Amino acid sequence: MLRIALDIDDTVLNWRKAHEAEFKCRLRGSKPELITSQVNSLKYNKNFWENLSLLERPDFTPELWCTKRVNSKVYTRNSFRKNGLPIKPIIQFYNQSDNKALGLIGKCDILIDDSWFNVSQCLESGFPALLITRPHNKWVKTKYRVSHLSYKEIEKKYNELFR
Q: pLDDT tens digits for 84-123?
A: 999 999 999 877 778 999 999 999 999 999 999 999 999 9
Candidates 162, 160, 123, 158; CA nearest to 140 is: 123
- According to DSSP, the residues that pair with 6 across neighbouring strands are 65, 112
CATH number at residue 112: 3.40.50.1000
Rounded to two decimals, the pTM is 0.94
What's residue 58's pLDDT?
A: 98
What's residue 39's pLDDT?
A: 87
CA distance 98 to 4: 19
Residue 69 has pLDDT above 90, yes or no: no
For the residues 50-59, what does the mean pLDDT come to?
98
- Domain residue limits at 21: 4-162
* Structural domains of the chain, count: 1
Confidence of residue 124 (pLDDT cuts 50, 70, 90): very high
Among residues of the chain, what percentage have pLDDT more than 70?
100
Surface-to-core class of residue 74, CB atoms within 10 Å of its CB (0-12 exposed, 13-18 middle, 19+ buried): exposed
